[in-house]
Each structure stands twice: as structure tokens, then as C-alpha cells.
Structure 1
């Protein structure tokens, strides 16, 4: 496979999984009609719901989850790889998993990934988030073969942990992903630079579908879904935070070319940090 047409679906998910599924279906069908063989939806496709009791009411085990069941049917109907960027799944014990699932063209679930890094932060504008109070973090990174291109999975806050993406690239990933629901404040400051940095560091394509706009639960997300090439150039972007679809054709040979020009994956060396006080003081005086 030398070329792969891909799409990122930007959404503004509300609190109703049924309403979000209807929007997802329309946007995914739009992407497929434009030639996309791989389509990615954002983090929390099924519902953006910050109220814990409200989230608990809609949680289902994976086998009963309406978002994943709809995605399986849709992937098989359209004959595409459909990547649900994530949706909340009942993980037992009153906890949820922030889970991504990639479905194959036959509708089967090819790989599952639970978000590893929890967004536990306090922002300058007063926003405070504690994902670890609701979600059980994943423990395993995942890649999957898309019939000639290998995909590495991440979700949102994972993008701030470059070692995860480095390990995915070393495991053979040509395409890296971080579907997201970035807050507006952090998105305006860091979204583009983080996406481009992960692409450049690893000589890989980066595809990140995003949530955008003011949601029913009061949260505001940044939008600007992105597709970045291995040299760090943005080749497709959703302008603003409105729902929609972006499409790009990936020339997969660009991965090999970028890694040949700057072979940092090969050139990395192990090292240790010397915290010896006298050595540090001597160097400072010199």
C-alpha cells in the first residue's frame, strides 16, 4: 500500500449517545463518500458528560455499547476501517474505561486501547479535571495493521507523553493518533505544536479527530482536527470548532523518506543522569 485516503471526523458530542450516534453515522458516511478508507472519530464520541451520575446511567459493557455496535455495523456496511477515537465503557466497580476501538472493513473489532494517561489537572481559568476519579487507566499500548500501514493508538492527554508515541513508532507504526476532547485553553496554547512534534519526532503521520465547541454539559473544546505529515506539515485541518470532516491522501513512502533523512529512531542512545552535587557545582563554577 503506497497511498491511503484517511478522514478525521470532528464532532460536538452531547450527553445523549443516541443523538451522537446519528451525527457520527452521517459524518462517517460523508467521509467514506469522499474516498476515505480509514475514518477516525474523536475522543468521547458517545457522550461528553462531566456529571458522574449522568455518565453512570449511560455506561454499558463493551458488548452492549450502542456506539460500538453502531460502528461495527457501519464499518461493515461501508467497507472501511472505522476508528472510534474513544467512548466510555463500563469497566466494573463503578469505574469507566476511556476506550478506543478500531473496526475492520468486515465490521469486526480489530484492536482495543484504553487511555493510559489520566487528565488530572488544574488550569489557570479555574477548570479542574480528575479523570482518574472516573476512569480506570489502561496499561498496554496498541498498534494494528490496516492492510499495509501500521496504526499506533493514543487518546488526547496521551499526546503530552512523547515516550508512548516513540515506542509505538519503534513497534512499526507509520501513523500515530491522538483523537481528543482538548479544552479550549489548552488547545489554543498547545494543540498544534504537540501534534506536529509527535509527527516530527517519529517521522510518522499524525491523525487526531477532535471535539469542538460548547457542549451540553458546559464543557468547551478546541476543535481543529488535524492530519500532519511525517515532516510536520499540516496537510488537513478543520477550521474552527464546527462539526465536519477533513480528508487527506497519505503517501506512505513519506514515512520511510523522513526517517531516512533524520534517523533519530535509530540514533537514540541510552544514558544516565548524574545528580552528583560536587560535579554539578564544579561545572557551574567553570
Structure 2
């Protein structure tokens, strides 16, 4: 593992596949120009809108999303995460799928979101992800990258379930992606503190791409794509406009924090 720059992209995705991919490509290009070698796109990067429309277009969204990720990885010679897009599960439902693609355009890791967001948010909005999404049943695997360290995947609501992150740390995770479309209401209180907790308790970097702003008349995302170091320090915050957070991922910092706070060695209940 070497020291390198990583970018967590922040988007305002809409119910228009072509517009979203064009926005994503522009932000990837800007991040690469800043030196990013590892790039994460948020949950729902290629489509965010009406659930019925998502299901109707799921096959096209999946095909174009995967094609896009592979082209971007090869064109820019970066490793890139597509943080969540629908892949058909049959019977009119989909898996919320994250895909990591290496610089050769090859699939490096795939994860189907396990924890679905079925919540009555106090702002009056109700989210029922399980109405259209089938939960994944497999714990995410680690992708061991020679250059970027051991990379772990999660998606959005997973961040509230520390056992998934402890699984990844037990597998040796150095960096964990948390791509999200966190609601504005919950995000203001919980987004950063949850990400910092996952970084601190697992002494790893967190790269959290995010959705931001209004996607339609009722759905608003929190923004604040973040990169957090193993001590819990926020290294970069994208704010509330489309753009990206960018910061150095340094293996020496991981080693330093794990010496200073060797909590992973002190686990009693494994």
C-alpha cells in the first residue's frame, strides 16, 4: 500500500440516467485533475427519483452504469466505486448494488446492500426501500489492492450497523467506502458522527461519497461527502454543493493510530 489521494464525489442525481452520468464524468475528470487515484461515487449516482420509474428502467440503468464505470476506470486509469445502482433481482425488484472497478476496467468487488431503509422520518417523509429492493444476504468481501490497501464496501444505511464494519476490520480493512444518499433530516444529526465512529472503532479510513440537495419535490439529501482518518479526524468535507472531498490516504497514519490505540487487539467478544 502506498500513500495516494482519494476522492469522494458529491452529486445531485435526478431521474435522468444520461444527465447523471454526464455530471459524474465531469466530477471524475475534476478529481483526477486534482490527483485522485481512488474515486467513489455516491449511492444512486446514475438514477435517483420515482421508484416505479427506477424499476421500469432498471435493466438499462444497470447496463449503462456498469459500462460507464468500466470506461471511466480505463480512460482515467483510476480505481472507481459506483456506490449504488439497481440490478434486477427478478419479480419486479432489484438489488441496490455497489461495484468497484479497477484501472483495467475489471470488476474488483461487488456488494448488494443488506440493510434497507424502511423508516418513517420525523420530517413527515416515509421511506420503504424494501418495496422495490431485495436485501443482499452476503457480508461484503475485502478487495486487497497492492496500491490502495484492503478496501471494504458498504452502502448508506449500513453505517448504523457496526457489526458489518467490524466484519470488514476483522478481514483487514484499511479503507471502507460508505456511499450514501442520506436524508437531510437525519444527516444533520447523524451522518458525520456515525462515520467518525466507524473510523475510530475500526482504526481505518472512511471514504463517504454523498448525494446532496433536492432530487424531486419531496426528497432532499444532506450532502457533506467526507473523508475521515483512522483517528476520526475529518480530512475533507464537500459541503452542500456538487463537487468532491479529496484527501491523502496514508498507510503510515493507519499504523500510527493502531499503535496509539490498539483496540482491535483488545477485543474480548469476537
Q: Please name the residue that 1:182 is paired with.
A: 182
Alpha-carbon shift at residue 143 of structure 1 (Å): 1.6
Where does residue 57 of structure 2 map in the other structure?
58
* Displacement of 1:61: 7.1
Equivalences for residues 1-286 of structure 1 within 5 A:
1-49=1-49, 51-60=50-59, 65-140=63-138, 141-148=140-147, 149-216=149-216, 218-239=218-239, 241-270=240-269
In the aligned structure 2, how far is the partner of 1:154 from the partner of 1:255?
Answer: 20
- TM-score of the aligned structures, taking structure 1 as reference length: 0.90
TM-score with structure 2 length normalisation?
A: 0.96
Mapped to 1, the partners of 2:132 and 2:170 lie a distance apart of 31
> Partners of 1:228 and 1:52 in 2: how far apart?
32
Q: CA deviation at 1:155?
A: 0.4
Structure 2: tracts of 5 or more residues without a match: none
- C-alpha distance in 1, partners of 2:51/2:10? 24
Which one is further off, 242-251 or 150-159?
242-251
How far has the Cα of 1:168 moved from its partner?
Answer: 0.1
Aligned counterparts of 2:84 and 2:146: Cα–Cα separation in 1: 22
For 2:39 and 2:29, how far apart are their aligned partners in 1?
Answer: 10
Choose 128-137 or 227-236, whichever is displaced more: 128-137
Q: Distance in 2 between matches of 1:113 and 1:193?
A: 24
| Rg larger for | 1
Q: Secondary structure at the match of 1:83?
A: strand
Instruction: Look up the SS of the partner of 2:206 in the other structure.
Output: strand
Unaligned runs of 5+ in 1: 272-286
- Distance in 1 between residues matched to 2:132 and 2:256, nearest whole Å: 42
